[in-house]
Amino acid sequence: MYKNRKIALLCVVALCCLITPSFAQDSEIKVLRTGVISSYKEQNVSIIASSSKQENTFNVFNLGLDTYGMFSYKSRLPGGKFSFSHDTIFHRGGLDDGQVEYILYVGAGFVGGYGKDFSNMKYNPGAILGLTSSVGTLVAFKGTNLELGLDFTAQWAIHIRKMEEKNGLIGLSWYANGLIYALVPQVCIYYRFK
């Protein structure tokens, strides 16, 4: 079963890599980046699309695994998540006479998925649905299309699950992981197509 999930994730990554170059050429997108985001809480495949000419805003689409509890052996299987964020650049800068450029951004969006939560780790996984907010930086190096980023994301979501401890009733609670792990940094590696 776990092997099937690995295969499914590899298929999603391959699909993203195949469609993103043609997506960038056929639409009004000025800059397109694809990459991976890794942290203690999540492992994501990410696409960043910028449609404004000044590139003052961009959209981030993430699809990945909710790995909370796996590294501490509290959970054997990951959950799955999708998130969208509309981010605004509030500062641009450069170092070493333009050899390194960076942006600072803040954004908000939504998140949905299926996984376990800190507050009910021993119980069933459930649906995750809510809002997300993020702040971070993206660093570009002259002469290469690779970019590095550091991101902090809070997820203000609800967790809906079947409560076996209460005769199978449907339970609704705050998704505690989304707030507890908001200060856990996410390391991002992107490839810029344009």
Does 185 score more than 70 pLDDT? yes
Q: Cα–Cα distance between 107 and 187 in angstroms, integer?
A: 17
What mean pLDDT is predicted for residues 142-169?
85
Q: What is the pTM (predicted TM-score) of this model?
A: 0.76
- The reported pLDDT for the residue numbered 75 is 63
pLDDT in tens, 161-172: 877 666 777 878
- The reported pLDDT for the residue numbered 24 is 41
Coil, strand or helix at 1: coil
* Total of domains in the chain: 1
Residues 6+ apart with CB under 8 A from 93: 101, 102, 103, 104
pLDDT in tens, 3-16: 545 544 554 454 45
Question: What residues are paired with 109 via a beta bridge?
Answer: 85, 132
Residues 6+ apart with CB under 8 A from 134: 60, 85, 87, 105, 106, 107, 108, 109, 151, 152, 153, 154
Q: Percent of the chain at pLDDT above 70? A: 72
Give DSSP secondary structure letters for 144-194. -SEEEEEEEEEEEEEEEEEEGGGTTEEEEEE-HHHHHTTTS-EEEEEEE--
Asked if 75 and 92 touch (Cβ cutoff 8 Å), the reply is no
Range of the domain at 155: 2-192
Domain CATH number, residue 107: 2.40.160.20
pLDDT in tens, 51-108: 655 668 899 999 988 776 666 666 667 788 999 999 999 998 888 887 899 999 999 9
- pLDDT band for position 129 (50/70/90)? very high
